[in-house]
Amino acid sequence: MNSVNSEINPLTVFVTFFKISALTIGGGYAMVPVLARRLGKKGWIDQKDFYNFLAKAQSIPGPIAFNLSITIGKEVGGWRGSIAAATGVIIPPFFTIVLIGAFLTRFSNSIWVKGFLKGAFGAILGLIGGVLYRMIQTRKWNYFEISIMILGALLMAFGSSYVIFLFVIIVIIVYAGDKKWRA
């Protein structure tokens, strides 16, 4: 991982995250592959470290793009980089939502708008699938983690309540963790 680099100033971090946020349609997970590629090209962070930061950002409550910007911003520019990256990620969607909210109701029945939204939805699914694929590739999996993932997917697909899903997963993790710590 990069340590805090004094050459990367907060304005550069802000502009980088602002551009990515402004030009990526589809929200946080759609930004993930773009962030990985762009930050890698800049030499700020390599792919393995990026996906480690992504895993950490997913464990923090809140929007993934915001969490990721804070963690990576801190890594490349310290606390100033963290603030700059978070601000750069927040500003474009805020103003986009305000503008779209003002105009979308007026044009919501347009076939052009409906077509664009359907196309964007398909592209976003592809981007999210690509992120999942890269995460699976960069991670070392053991049988326990694979079984938890499969169990979780089955409970979500066939279960009617997320509460049951969460309870079962927590019990399994606590039980397995307790056995692991005793050994």
Q: How far is CA 88 from each of CA 4, 96, 165, rounded to the nearest angstrom?
A: 19, 13, 36
132 domain residue, yes or no? yes
Query: What is the model's pLDDT at position 4?
Result: 47
Region 13-29: mean pLDDT is 87
Residues 88 and 132 in one domain: yes
Measure the CA–CA gap between 55 and 64, rounded to whole angstroms. 10
Residues 73 and 155 in one domain: no
Provide, rounded to the nearest whole percent, the portion of the chain with pLDDT above 90: 17
Query: What is the model's pLDDT at position 173?
Result: 67
Measure the CA–CA gap between 26 and 123, rounded to whole angstroms. 8
Residues 68 and 22 in one domain: yes
Two tokens, residue 21: 């946020």
Measure the CA–CA gap between 112 and 107, rounded to whole angstroms. 9
Higher pLDDT among residues 59 and 12, named by residue:
12
Give the CB-side neighbour count of residue 2, counting CA atoms within 13 A. Answer: 23
Residues 97 and 130 in one domain: yes
Residues 148 and 110 in one domain: no
Higher pLDDT among residues 179 and 102, named by residue:
102
Give the CB-side neighbour count of residue 20, counting CA atoms within 13 A. Answer: 28
Q: Is the predicted pLDDT of residue 12 greater than 90, yes or no?
A: yes
Residues 64 and 134 in one domain: yes
Residues 65 and 155 in one domain: no
Residues 118 and 146 in one domain: no
Provide, rounded to the nearest whole percent, the portion of the chain with pLDDT above 70: 81
* Total domains in the fold of the chain: 2
72-110 pLDDT, tens digit per residue, is 999 998 889 999 999 999 999 888 888 888 877 788 788
Measure the CA–CA gap between 24 and 128, rounded to whole angstroms. 13
Range(s) of the domain holding residue 172: 142-183
Residues 153 and 132 in one domain: no
178 domain residue, yes or no? yes
Q: Which of 45-54, 111-120, 146-155 has the lowest mean pLDDT?
A: 146-155
Measure the CA–CA gap between 20 and 62, rounded to whole angstroms. 19
Question: Mean pLDDT over all residues of the chain?
Answer: 80
Residues 101 and 86 in one domain: yes
Residues 76 and 146 in one domain: no
Residues 112 and 55 in one domain: yes
23-77 pLDDT, tens digit per residue, is 887 777 888 888 888 998 998 988 888 888 888 888 777 888 898 999 999 999 8
Q: Which residues contact 31 (CB under 8 A, 6 or more apart)?
A: 20, 21, 24, 65, 68, 89
131 domain residue, yes or no? yes
